[in-house]
């Protein structure tokens, strides 16, 4: 097992990883920018190294600085968390070259799943259902027009280097193809330095259902069931839950077997997520694979009782997964609400000093956060400041507990989206579990346009 782990992240996930290390008896190294000197991950780690000025590219995204911090503190391994360097195949390679264990999958797997057109091809070859579309990238507008005919409009152009919505365009007819192909390619080039696009049939109002998987280096691969993540705005998830209200036992078993097949196709190790779109007829399709721990992992932890961060560390150290597939059960219902430092109505970011901070607690409530009274939320990073996770024996109980928790979560000094979350938790469609990726657009009403 590792002696010392460097955590290449900040905020709640850095703290979450510190808690796991403490329970495993592993020393921790925090890295931080000058904007994060007073952060809790710095306080609670055994050691801390300042790695640069506030902007991501000068600190948390600097491969050189993070590796140097690991070398001077003599760490054995690096946990990247989510975001930042978590899905950088290059970073994972550099770790390996420097004799540091990257806590995540192999660099080649990160790279191949990061190329979304290649991931789609790989899954198609492996017999995993994909959405009707192009076989790999679409080289130009002419090819796009030729392909769209048999697929049938509307089609969706997606950035191969993307994921999460950037560089996506819905195309309704031949007439719109040239313009939208060009703008998607340009947007992708600007965002990712790569303009390659692929094409899929556009599925109307699907649900986003993802499966948690975990693989070890002994050939064991298990799934930890699903998370429903349909409640999102501009490709930022707002609420996640497990289990999904859309799955019955049969569909759940078929999707789980497909997630395992997808992971086996790339000899997946460590924690990962297989994302599916589920259409109104109950057909499901692979869309992407995320090669990291995700923000919403706590809902899976709450329903299964399995500590995913500890499992990531154990399997990265070469240990076998600590449980068997038939020991994984959905034993509860869990819901996560993301609390962001932003206005509830305008969604404008609201960094600044928190004056009062009183997080909820009590039965069935978990709060993952690095915020505290007098903490300053810097403007440079993600606006998510806390995750409230409720857990109950039924979905109804989890909803009641979440409402109670959000009511008693006091944050003063900055604006948050708690009022918005409370309104969603009171929505009739939400309560009935009638969810789709169109939920927020409908909820916010016309005039508040939500992109593709
Ligand atoms: C789609 C789709 C409909 N049809 N693909 C958006 C982000 C990226 N990860 C995949 N996305 C979508 N892909 C086809 N062929 C609809 C979406 C989509 C979406 C997916 C998951 C969660 C929220 C979403 C919101 C809008 C659109």
The label of the residue with tokens 């010392």 reads 4
What is the per-residue pLDDT for 158? 98
pLDDT band at 164 (very low <50, low <70, confident <90, very high): confident
Residue 165 binned pLDDT confidence (cut-offs 50, 70, 90):
confident
Cite the DSSP H helix spans in 224-362: 249-265, 297-304, 308-316
- Nearest residue (by CA) to ligand 1, atom 20, is 208
Tokens 């930042």 correspond to what residue? 84
Minimum-distance ligand 1 atom for the alpha carbon of 131: 15
Class of residue 415 by CB neighbours under 10 A (exposed 0-12, middle 13-18, buried 19+):
buried
Percent of the chain whose predicted confidence (pLDDT) is above 70: 99
Q: Select from 1.10.10.10, 3.40.50.620, 3.50.50.60, 3.40.50.20 the CATH code of 4-103.
A: 3.40.50.20
Pick the CATH number of 207-444 from 3.30.1330.10, 1.20.1600.10, 3.30.470.20, 3.20.20.70: 3.30.470.20
pLDDT tens digits, 42-67? 999 999 999 999 999 999 999 999 99
pLDDT score at 258: 98
So what's the pLDDT on residue 446? 74
Ligand 1 site: residues with CB under 6 angstroms? 131, 156, 163-165, 200-203, 206, 208, 232, 235, 277, 287-288, 437, 452
- Mean pLDDT over each residue of the chain, to the nearest integer: 97
Q: How far is the CA of 437 from the centre of ligand 1 (A)?
A: 8
Nearest to 66 by CA among 79, 370, 2, 382: 79
Cα–ligand 1 centroid distance for 433 (angstroms): 19
Nearest atom, ligand 1, residue 203 CA: 4
Rounded Cα distance between 184 and 189, Å, is 9
Helix (H) or strand (E) holding 230: strand 221-233
Catalytic residue among 10, 292, 314, 401: 292
Q: How many whole angstroms from 265 Cα to the centroid of ligand 1?
A: 23
State the average pLDDT over residues 222-245. Answer: 97
Give me ligand 1 centre to Cα 401, in Å: 30
Q: How many Å apart are CA 31 and CA 18, to the nearest integer?
A: 12
Give span(s): CATH 3.40.50.20, the chain.
4-103
Specify the pLDDT at position 449. 45
- Per-residue pLDDT at 450 exceeds 60: no
Burial class (CB in 10 A: 0-12, 13-18, 19+), 449: exposed
Shortest-distance atom of ligand 1 to CA 232: 23
Fold of domain 132-201? Dna Ligase; domain 1 (3.30.1490)
Whether the full predicted model's pTM is greater than 0.75, yes or no, is yes
Q: What is the pLDDT of residues 300-330, one digit of tens each?
A: 999 999 999 999 999 999 999 989 999 999 9
Residues linked to residue 200 through DSSP beta bridges, in sequence order: 133, 156
Local structure of residue 58 (DSSP, 8 states) = G
Kindly state the average pLDDT of the residues 16-31.
Answer: 98
Ligand 1 centroid, distance to 236 Cα (angstroms): 12
Tell me the pLDDT band of 448, cut-offs 50, 70 and 90.
very low
Nearest CA to ligand 1 atom 18: 437
Percent of the chain residues topping a pLDDT of 90: 96
Residues 160, 138: Cα–Cα separation, whole Å: 10
Split at pLDDT 50, 70, 90, the class of 452 is very low
Mutate to test the pocket of ligand 1, among 206, 229, 234, 238 (most ligand atoms within 8 A of CB): 206
- Give dist(CA 152, CA 300) in Å, integer: 37
* pLDDT(444) > 60: yes
Residue 447 scores a pLDDT above 60: no
The pick from 120, 151, 158 for probing ligand 1's pocket by mutation, whose C-beta has the most ligand atoms within 8 angstroms, reads 158
Q: Which of 124, 157, 168, 435 to mutate to test the pocket of ligand 1 (most atoms within 8 A of CB)?
A: 168
353 in catalytic set: no
Q: Is the pLDDT of residue 282 over 90?
A: yes
CATH 3.30.470.20 domain residues, the chain: 207-444
What Rg value do the Cα atoms of the chain yield, rounded? Answer: 21
Residue whose token pair is 């449980």: 323
Mean pLDDT confidence for 146-159:
98
Q: Are 373 and 410 in contact (CB under 8 A)?
A: no
Residue 382 has pLDDT above 70, yes or no: yes
Asked if the model's pLDDT at residue 349 lies above 50, the reply is yes
């Amino acid at each position: 097992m590792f002696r010392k782990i460097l955590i290449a992240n900040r905020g709640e996930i850095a703290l979450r990883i510190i808690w796991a290390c403490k329970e495993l008896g592993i020393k921790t190294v925090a890295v931080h920018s000058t904007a994060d000197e007073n952060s809790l991950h710095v306080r609670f780690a055994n050691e801390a190294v300042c790695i640069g000025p506030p902007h991501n590219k000068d600190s948390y995204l600097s491969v050189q600085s993070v590796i140097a911090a690991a070398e001077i503190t003599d760490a054995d391994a690096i946990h990247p968390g989510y975001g930042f360097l978590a899905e950088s195949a290059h970073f994972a390679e550099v770790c390996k070259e420097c004799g540091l264990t990257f806590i995540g999958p192999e660099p080649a797997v990160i790279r191949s799943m990061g190329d979304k057109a290649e991931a789609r091809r790989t899954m198609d070859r492996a017999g995993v259902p994909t959405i009707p579309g192009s076989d790999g990238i679409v080289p130009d507008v002419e090819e796009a027009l030729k392909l769209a005919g048999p697929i049938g409009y509307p089609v969706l152009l997606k950035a191969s280097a993307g994921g999460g919505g950037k560089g996506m365009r819905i195309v309704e007819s031949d007439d719109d193809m040239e313009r939208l192909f060009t703008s998607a390619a340009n947007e992708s080039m600007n965002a990712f330095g790569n303009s390659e696009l692929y094409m899929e049939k556009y599925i109307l109002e699907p649900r986003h259902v993802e499966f948690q998987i975990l693989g070890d280096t002994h050939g064991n691969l298990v799934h930890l069931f699903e998370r429903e993540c349909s409640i999102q705005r501009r490709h930022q998830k707002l609420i996640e839950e497990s289990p999904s209200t859309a799955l019955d036992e049969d569909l759940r078993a078929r999707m789980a077997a497909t997630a395992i097949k997808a992971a086996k196709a790339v000899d997946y190790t460590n924690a990962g997520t297989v994302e599916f779109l589920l259409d109104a007829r109950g057909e499901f399709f692979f869309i992407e694979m995320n090669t990291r721990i995700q923000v919403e992992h706590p809902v899976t932890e709450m329903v299964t009782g399995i500590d995913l961060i500890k499992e990531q560390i154990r399997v990265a150290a070469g240990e076998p997964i600590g449980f068997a597939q038939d020991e994984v059960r959905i034993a509860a219902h869990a819901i996560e609400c993301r609390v962001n430092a932003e206005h509830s109505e305008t969604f404008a970011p609201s960094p600044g000093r928190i004056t009062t901070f009183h997080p909820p607690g009590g039965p069935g409530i978990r709060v993952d956060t690095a915020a505290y009274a007098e903490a300053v939320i810097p403007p440079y990073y993600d606006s998510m400041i806390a995750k409230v996770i409720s857990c109950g024996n039924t979905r109804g109980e989890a909803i009641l507990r979440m409402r109670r928790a959000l009511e008693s979560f006091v944050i003063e000094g900055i604006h948050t989206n708690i009022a918005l979350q409370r309104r969603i938790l009171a929505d009739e469609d939400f309560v009935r579990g009638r969810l789709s990726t169109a939920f927020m657009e409908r909820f916010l009403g016309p005039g508040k346009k939500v992109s593709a």
